[in-house]
């Protein structure tokens, strides 16, 4: 790529360029499998940088780099069915790696929606893209649909897919509000993603019947995997203290 550092004295742009370069150099040196969140954040950074330069050569280089990463992203199968998802899969969980995630990085833009649509027949790709935009409701829905497809395929990943599906349904029940459905932007502003990632979600205490993202088939499959639950509730009820703090912050954002 053309050396673009010298074209701008803006410190924020310089740091963004260095962050992208460092992440990609590390991946190349270690021959690491690149997490979807790293790829999507790199794209978001490159798109943002294009708004801050008037140099045509620099802009072309940035556009080419963006296109290369988007192409790689559309062809890469890097997704692991870990429960809970890792911070590499869900940037909201850790906004320090590899470059602080901004609201622009996490937002549902037209590019993400286009990529999701293109990967409807590849549940692993679809899942990776969906996880990268948690906690948006649409991202949750896309992740659940991708996991159901993996479960239906009845491969060796079925149990892991069900465990992750359950985690997503349980965590979504924590994000609900009493009088309204908060937007993704409101959730991000009101709740540290790492808090949700680390909340205990015990199946025996949570059950399945009050988790809205689960359908009857999901519930049946989960009972076959984990056995009958002792009770059925939501995560917001089970973790009421943490949920109350989250709700207080949501209310403060409205004023």
Question: pLDDT digits over 94-120, tens only?
Answer: 765 444 456 666 778 888 899 899 988
66: confidence class by pLDDT, cuts 50, 70, 90: confident
Q: In whole numbers, what is the pLDDT of the chain averaged over residues?
A: 81
pLDDT, one tens digit per residue, over 151-180 is 999 888 899 999 999 999 999 999 988 777
Percent of the chain scoring above 70 in pLDDT: 75
Q: Is the pLDDT of residue 75 over 80?
A: no
5: confidence class by pLDDT, cuts 50, 70, 90: very low
User: Residue 3 has which token pair?
Assistant: 């050396």
Q: Is the pLDDT of residue 19 over 80?
A: no
53: confidence class by pLDDT, cuts 50, 70, 90: confident
Asked if residue 254 has a cis previous peptide bond (ω within 30° of 0), the answer is no
Q: What's the farthest any 2 CA atoms get from each other in the chain?
A: 64
What's residue 77's pLDDT? 43
60: confidence class by pLDDT, cuts 50, 70, 90: confident
**Cα four-point dihedral sign 78, 84, 90, 91:** negative
51: confidence class by pLDDT, cuts 50, 70, 90: confident
Percent of the chain scoring above 90 in pLDDT: 41
Distances in Å between the Cα of 53 and the Cα atoms of 50, 59, 102, 141 are: 6, 7, 20, 37
């Amino acid at each position: 790529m053309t050396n673009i550092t010298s074209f701008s004295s803006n410190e924020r742009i310089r740091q963004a360029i260095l962050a992208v370069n460092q992440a990609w150099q590390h991946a190349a040196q270690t021959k690491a499998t690149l997490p979807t969140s790293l790829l999507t954040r790199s794209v978001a950074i490159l798109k943002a940088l294009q708004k801050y330069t008037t140099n045509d050569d620099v802009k072309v280089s940035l556009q080419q780099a963006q296109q290369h990463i988007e192409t790689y992203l559309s062809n890469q199968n890097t997704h692991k069915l870990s429960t809970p998802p890792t911070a590499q899969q869900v940037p909201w969980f850790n906004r320090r790696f590899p470059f602080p995630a901004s609201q622009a990085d996490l937002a549902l833009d037209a590019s993400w929606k286009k990529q999701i649509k293109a990967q409807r027949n590849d549940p692993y790709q679809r899942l990776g893209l969906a996880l990268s935009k948690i906690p948006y409701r649409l991202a949750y829905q896309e992740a659940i649909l991708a996991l159901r497809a993996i479960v239906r395929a009845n491969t060796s990943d079925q149990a892991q897919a069900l465990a992750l599906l359950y985690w997503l349904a349980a965590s979504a029940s924590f994000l609900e509000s009493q009088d309204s459905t908060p937007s993704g932007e409101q959730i991000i502003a009101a709740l540290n993603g790492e808090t949700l990632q680390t909340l205990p979600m015990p199946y025996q205490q949570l059950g399945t019947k009050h988790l809205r993202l689960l359908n009857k088939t999901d519930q049946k499959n989960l009972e076959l995997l984990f056995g009958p639950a002792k009770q059925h509730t939501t995560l917001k009820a089970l973790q009421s203290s943490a949920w109350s703090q989250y709700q207080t912050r949501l209310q403060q954002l409205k004023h």
